[in-house]
């Protein structure tokens, strides 16, 4: 079954064709980062307009790279939320139009569930399971979804059944990276820049707080950490050279330490031995290294979603769309609406 996925929830216009929920035949992502950079964050109205311009050419390119025509598509899958309403609207309308014109089933995909699924994707035919329902990353497992818009821990029982164990009380982890980068004049978005600049810095150079949150042990808070960086900068000025590297390495360590420890604790409490990391911040090299190291120490399997499927993409939407279609979770192209606040909690697992 070939599923065309469309993703326009934030600032990436993306389309992809995935066979049987796993084999990625094409994965096209057009980023609007350059457009939003001058504003230091995503401007919703500009995002919607840029999606309008890009979405049809991106869908065409995804089909061309897959070597397919529109009629070869069996199912249309589109992100319906959570995200920016105007941005979601663009993808949803295109998905509806294609489903009606081609007379194909339409499925509406939860963006977070798609992130949680992304580790199942592959481009190598040999790596795809012979039976689509025997997936390479076994269930149940713990998933840590960390991006610019969300930071949460989940117990995941299947592609469609997951339960939120905790989430951020304030900033998402990616937001903390982006705000600290802006504070230090490093531009937007800041995650990748901080990751690169922190290399070689001393992770214990600046004492920064970790919010363990007592009883709310699976929730997160990054606003105190952000304030601590601001206070440090006020006292010492904006650092340069080695001092900048040290501050960034210390900040990154504080974020990664909390994310990894809480994921390990969730695995222990749920008696699970596998942790999947996904979402844009899941691309962070220190987070990946620390998770791998602590998982080895505690005999837990660390599953690192490939970098190209960590940040927003439509392959994860098409991949999960396959399972929705198989489950008969098809929606009418005449009534599907985007839902900016679509639950991040998923179906009860």
Judged by CB under 5 A, the number of residues near Zn ion is 2
Closest approach of Zn ion to the CB of residue 275, in Å: 19
CA 146 to chain centre: 6
Nearer to ligand KG4, 61 or 193 (CB): 193
Measured distance CA(139)–CA(131) in Å, rounded: 15
Cβ neighbours for 249, distance < 8 A, ≥ 6 positions apart: 198, 199, 200, 201, 202, 203, 205, 286
Residue 195 binds Zn ion (CB under 5 A): no
Q: What, of Zn ion, ligand KG4, none, does residue 219 touch, CB below 5 to 8 Å by kind?
A: none
Residue 7 binds ligand KG4 (CB under 6 A): no
Give the pair of three-digit tokens for residue 287.
């987070």
Measured distance CA(132)–CA(126) in Å, rounded: 13
Residue 280 binds ligand KG4 (CB under 6 A): yes
Interface pick for ligand KG4 out of 87, 90, 162, 195 (rule CB under 6 A): 195
Pick the stretch among 59-67, 142-150, 219-227, 236-244 that binds ligand KG4 (CB under 6 A): 142-150
Interface pick for ligand KG4 out of 147, 151, 203, 250 (rule CB under 6 A): 147
Pick the stretch among 184-192, 269-277, 294-302, 323-331 that binds ligand KG4 (CB under 6 A): 184-192
Residue 222 binds ligand KG4 (CB under 6 A): no
Interface pick for Zn ion out of 26, 27, 79, 147 (rule CB under 5 A): 147
Q: What, of Zn ion, ligand KG4, none, does residue 283 touch, CB below 5 to 8 Å by kind?
A: ligand KG4
Residues numbered 196-215 forming contacts with ligand KG4, rule: CB under 6 A: none
Residue 81 binds ligand KG4 (CB under 6 A): no
Q: What, of ligand KG4, Zn ion, none, does residue 281 touch, CB below 5 to 8 Å by kind?
A: ligand KG4
Residue 178 binds Zn ion (CB under 5 A): no
Nearer to ligand KG4, 73 or 119 (CB): 119
Give the pair of three-digit tokens for residue 341.
């606040």
Measured distance CA(320)–CA(108) in Å, rounded: 10
Contact call for residues 208 and 250 (beta carbons, < 8 A): yes
Residue 283 binds ligand KG4 (CB under 6 A): yes
Nearer to Zn ion, 95 or 201 (CB): 95
CA 240 to chain centre: 31
Q: What, of Zn ion, ligand KG4, none, does residue 222 touch, CB below 5 to 8 Å by kind?
A: none
The runs of H, that is alpha helices, within the chain are: 33-37, 44-66, 85-102, 111-117, 173-183, 191-198, 223-236, 241-269, 285-297, 307-310, 315-326
> Whose CA is closest to 123, among 29, 27, 28, 23?
23
| DSSP 8-state code for residue 166 | E
DSSP-derived pairing of the beta strands 141-146 and 151-158: antiparallel
Residue 175 binds Zn ion (CB under 5 A): no
Closest approach of ligand KG4 to the CB of residue 167, in Å: 14
Measured distance CA(257)–CA(291) in Å, rounded: 9
Q: Starting at the earlier edge strand, list the strands of the sheet with 12-19.
A: 23-31, 12-19, 2-7, 75-81, 106-110
> Whose CA is closest to 252, among 311, 316, 186?
186
Question: Which stretches of the chain bind Zn ion, using CB under 5 A?
Answer: 147, 312
Contacts with ligand KG4 by CB under 6 A lie at: 10, 147-149, 174, 177-178, 189-192, 195, 279-281, 283-284, 311-312
């Amino acid at each position: 079954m070939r599923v065309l996925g469309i993703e326009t929830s934030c600032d990436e216009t993306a389309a992809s064709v995935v066979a049987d929920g796993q084999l990625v035949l094409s994965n096209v992502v057009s980023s609007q980062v350059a457009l939003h950079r001058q504003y230091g964050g995503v401007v919703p109205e500009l995002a919607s307009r840029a999606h309008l311009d890009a979405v049809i050419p991106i869908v065409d390119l995804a089909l061309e790279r897959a070597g397919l025509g529109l009629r070869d598509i069996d199912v249309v899958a589109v992100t319906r939320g959570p995200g920016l309403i105007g941005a979601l609207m663009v993808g949803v309308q295109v998905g509806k139009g294609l489903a009606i014109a081609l007379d194909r089933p339409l499925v509406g995909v939860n963006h977070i569930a798609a992130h949680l699924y992304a580790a199942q994707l592959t481009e190598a035919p040999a790596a795809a399971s012979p039976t689509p329902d025997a997936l390479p990353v076994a269930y149940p497992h713990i998933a840590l979804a960390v991006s610019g818009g969300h930071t949460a821990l989940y117990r995941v029982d299947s592609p469609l059944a997951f339960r939120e164990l905790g989430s951020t009380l304030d900033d998402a982890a990616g937001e903390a990276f982006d705000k600290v980068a802006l504070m230090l004049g490093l531009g937007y978005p800041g995650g990748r820049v901080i990751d690169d600049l922190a290399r070689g810095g001393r992770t214990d150079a600046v004492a920064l707080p970790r919010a363990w949150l007592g009883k709310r042990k699976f929730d997160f808070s990054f606003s105190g950490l952000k304030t601590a960086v601001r206070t440090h900068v006020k006292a010492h000025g904006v650092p340069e050279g080695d001092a900048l590297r040290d501050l960034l390495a210390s900040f990154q360590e504080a974020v990664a330490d909390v994310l990894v420890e809480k994921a390990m604790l969730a695995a222990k409490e749920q008696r699970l031995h596998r942790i999947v990391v996904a979402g844009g911040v899941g691309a962070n090299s220190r987070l990946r290294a620390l998770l791998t190291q602590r998982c080895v120490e505690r005999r837990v399997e660390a599953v690192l979603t490939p970098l190209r499927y960590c940040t927003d993409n439509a392959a994860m939407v098409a991949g999960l769309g396959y399972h929705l279609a198989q489950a008969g979770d098809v929606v009418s192209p005449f009534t599907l609406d985007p839902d900016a606040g679509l639950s991040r909690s998923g179906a009860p697992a």
